Every structure is written in C-alpha cells, then in structure tokens.
Amino acid sequence: MKIAIIGSGGREHAICEKIYESKKVAEIFCIPGNGGTDKISKNIDINIKNFEEIKTFLLKEKIDMVVIGPEEPLVNGIVDYLNKNKIKVFGPDQFCSQLEGSKIFTKKICKSENIPTAEFKIFDNKEAAFGYINNKNFPVVVKADGLAGGKGVYICNNVLEAKEAIVEIFDGKFGIAKELLVEDFLEGEEMSFFILYDNTSYKIFNTAQDHKRVFEGDMGKNTGGMGAYTPSRLNEKILQEKIINKIILPTLNYLKINGGKYIGFLYAGLMIKNDEPFLIEYNVRMGDPECQTILPLLNNDFVEILENCIKGNLNKIQLDWKDKKSICIVLTSKGYPENYKKNILIEDLEKIKLDKDCYLFHAGTKFNNNKFYSSGGRVLNFVCLDNDLNLARKKCLNLIQKLNWKYGHHRNDIGFKVIQNS
C-alpha cells in the first residue's frame, strides 16, 4: 500500500514510524513531514492548507489511504474534499470536526444530550459578558469559540482578568469572534481519554496525561505540550464506563443522527472530580505529545487498524497493548512558547543510541545536507517505556543529557503527580 500522512509534528512522526513497521506498506509520503519522517518516508513540500494541491498529488501517486494528523485541515473540511475525489481518508468529516472547531458547538451538544460539563453561557457582545462575570465567583474560564492554537482559553482569577480576556477575544485576537463562551472553573484532575471510531463501533485507545505549562511544577505559559505519560492514574473500569456512557456515546449518537461521518480518533479532555467525569473539550485527532507516548505501546499492525476503521470494520480488530507504562519528554527550543531561534544545528543527533523500548520522534526539525536543524518550538520527543514510570523518565532524561543540545529546554518533572520522590 501507499500511504500519505498530513502534518509535521511529533505526532505525525510517531504515526509514520508505526505505519513504517507494517508489512502492508510499500511507500509512505509525509506532507510536509519533518527531519524524522524524512528518514523513513518521502517528505512532500505542500502547504497543508492547499487541499487542491494535496488532492492532485495523492491522485497522481495513486495513494491508497491518507491519515490526517492535525486539527486545522479537519476543521476546514479536508476529509469531505478528498472523499469527493474518491480518496480514502482516516479522519472525521467537517460536520463532526466542529467538536474541536467550535467550543460552542460542543457545549450545545452537552446541553441537549445532558453531558456533564462546566456550567456555561454564550455571549455575542462585550457588555452582556461583562454583566455576567460581575456576579460570578472566581476563577471563571473565558474561551474563544474557534481554533486558537491552544491559546484561546483564559483562566481568570478576577473581574479585571475576565474583562481583558473578553475584550481580547471580541477584538479579534483569534480572528473574527461573533460569540464567546464563559464557563465555570472545574476543580479536579485532568485526563486525556482517546477512542478510535469507525462511525459505528468504537475502541478505547488508551488514556494519558499531558503537561501543558512550560516550566516545572506546571508553571509558566501554556505550550502545545511539554510531555505526557500513559496510562493516566485515573484509568479504572468504573470511571471508564461513566466516560463512555455519559460523555462519549451521547456525543457519537448526536453526530450520527445529525448526518455526520466520524472515522478516526476522538480525544476527550476531561476533568475528574470525586470519580465523576466532566467534559472540558473535544479534539478530533490524537493528542500531541500523547500520541507519541501511546503508539509505541501498541502491538497491532497499525495499518490494519486504519484500514478497518475506514471500512467500518473496527469490530474485527482486537487491540493489543504492551503491559508497560510510557513517558514522553519534549525538548523545545529555548524561549518557546515565546521567542526562540530557528535553524540551529542539532549536533550528534544520529549518534544517540536508542535501547529497546526507547524512541526519538522529531517535531520541529529538518534534515539538510546530512545534518539536522531545528525548525520549530517543539523540536524532539524522547519516549521510553518501562514497568516503572520513574525508570522510564530516567531513561528519557539520560538521552536528553547525552544529546546535550545547548539551545534546548525541557522539563525534568513530567509525570510528577504519579512518580514518587520527584
């Protein structure tokens, strides 16, 4: 088979590696890919916003299946567009992708289907929103409706902060904003919960916990993710059943009844309080860096899973997981998520020896003249599996130390809530 992957992050390199392991695959293309995917597939330099150019390439190469990594093309309707051109795609259609593309769309489903989530109100002007927050207990959470690269959520501790957030959103910080969302702050512990879905049946695709803040102790600015571990410590059967029955199934039923077609991963961001799950948000893709921690635990042929999912035959698949834990530590460019340098040589990257159960997934890298250079904020993902999460973390940290990239930053405390003595 010939398979194409859309995207250029650590998630897409992890997907590419897993596809590369499959006996069913003859050739892999990554659009546009990164320095890591360059080694095991062909990187194709097409802008992922340009659906027509992507389609032309896929048809010319007679690609059998395309996997969409990031949210933006999904929200912009790449699946509908490619399906119309008879190309097989692993990803949800544009209607379903509103789950991530519009937080208000999701909240309305929560309301109509009785899905547990934070109390909320939708506003279409500043004054009404100001009036509402004047009478609220703090913190409150103010959210832009659409995609905002993880930056459209404001946890506000007082009226002033909330007003600032409301003004920024309505003034267009994340594009034209007709409406915004104000919701109650949920206390508890977060959990990322993944399923695979073929529009009829679903399979739980593990759980994880990511660390979004740039500094240790979960301090500093929000980032795309500084690391993650799997499984989440909250992953137990009764809670799982509640998540499926109270949150996932009502959502999937709603989408189906309303004409959506959902093929792919669904990622529920949850808050767990007193053993009860609340939906914070949906993403219509795998998480990054959660994907990098979860996929190495999978024993199945990943291509077989993708194929069966597209055919609506997911029920024929029995997922088979390694009985281990996994941790991912992200090495970023110093200064990320604010200002950082690009195009810095990463010396000796190919000299890093990976023991069994250790993986190195590239994100913001490119391969030029036989050398690797940084090309983004999140640069490399170090992933190690072990029965003991502490040992897995030590292995990751050893690898980072060996690389000793002077321009890099990472957190030493990924998993601190579950790893003792950290």
Contact set with ligand GLY (CB under 6 A): 210, 225, 283, 287-288, 290
**Residue 336: CB minimum distance to ligand GLY, A:** 15
Piece of the chain touching ligand AMP by CB under 6 A; list 84-92, 180-188, 230-238, 369-377: 180-188
Tell which one of 115, 186, 268, 397 touches ligand AMP (CB under 6 A): 186
Tell which one of 190, 216, 276, 357 touches ligand AMP (CB under 6 A): 190
Partner whose footprint covers residue 287, from ligand AMP, ligand GLY, none (CB < 5 to 8 Å by kind): ligand GLY
**Residue 86: CB minimum distance to ligand GLY, A:** 30
**Residue 419: CB minimum distance to ligand GLY, A:** 19
Draw the binding track, 313-352, toward ligand AMP (x: CB under 6 A; -: no contact): ----------------------------------------
**Residue 225: CB minimum distance to ligand GLY, A:** 4
Partner whose footprint covers residue 65, from ligand AMP, ligand GLY, none (CB < 5 to 8 Å by kind): none
- 38 alpha-carbon distance from chain centroid: 22
Alpha-carbon distance 307 to 313, whole Å?
8
Q: Which two tokens stand for residue 132?
A: 């509402």
Tell which one of 57, 185, 321, 416 touches ligand AMP (CB under 6 A): 185
**Residue 31: CB minimum distance to ligand AMP, A:** 26
53 or 281, CB closer to ligand GLY? 281
**Region 145-164 residues binding ligand AMP, contact defined as CB under 6 A:** 150, 153
Partner whose footprint covers residue 288, from ligand AMP, ligand GLY, none (CB < 5 to 8 Å by kind): ligand GLY
183 or 288, CB closer to ligand GLY? 288
Alpha-carbon distance 11 to 13, whole Å?
6
Cβ-closest residue to ligand GLY? 287
**Residue 267: CB minimum distance to ligand AMP, A:** 10
Tell which one of 201, 269, 319, 321 touches ligand AMP (CB under 6 A): 269
Alpha-carbon distance 200 to 198, whole Å?
5
Partner whose footprint covers residue 133, from ligand AMP, ligand GLY, none (CB < 5 to 8 Å by kind): none
Identify the bridge partners of residue 190 per DSSP, sorted by sequence position: 271
**Residue 78: CB minimum distance to ligand GLY, A:** 18
**Residue 210: CB minimum distance to ligand GLY, A:** 4
Pairing of strands 202-215, 219-230: antiparallel
Give the Å distances, CA to CA, from 410 to 114, 150, 168, 295, 336. 40, 19, 30, 22, 10
Q: Which two tokens stand for residue 28?
A: 């892999």
Partner whose footprint covers residue 210, from ligand GLY, ligand AMP, none (CB < 5 to 8 Å by kind): ligand GLY
Q: Which two tokens stand for residue 78?
A: 């790449």
Partner whose footprint covers residue 147, from ligand GLY, ligand AMP, none (CB < 5 to 8 Å by kind): none
**Region 90-149 residues binding ligand AMP, contact defined as CB under 6 A:** 118, 141
Quick check: 347 and 365 in contact, CB under 8 A? no
Tell me: does residue 280 bind ligand AMP (CB under 6 A): yes
**Residue 42: CB minimum distance to ligand GLY, A:** 26
Partner whose footprint covers residue 190, from ligand GLY, ligand AMP, none (CB < 5 to 8 Å by kind): ligand AMP
**Residue 213: CB minimum distance to ligand AMP, A:** 9
287 or 376, CB closer to ligand AMP? 287
Residues that bind ligand AMP (CB under 6 A): 118, 141, 150, 153, 183, 185-186, 190, 269, 280-281
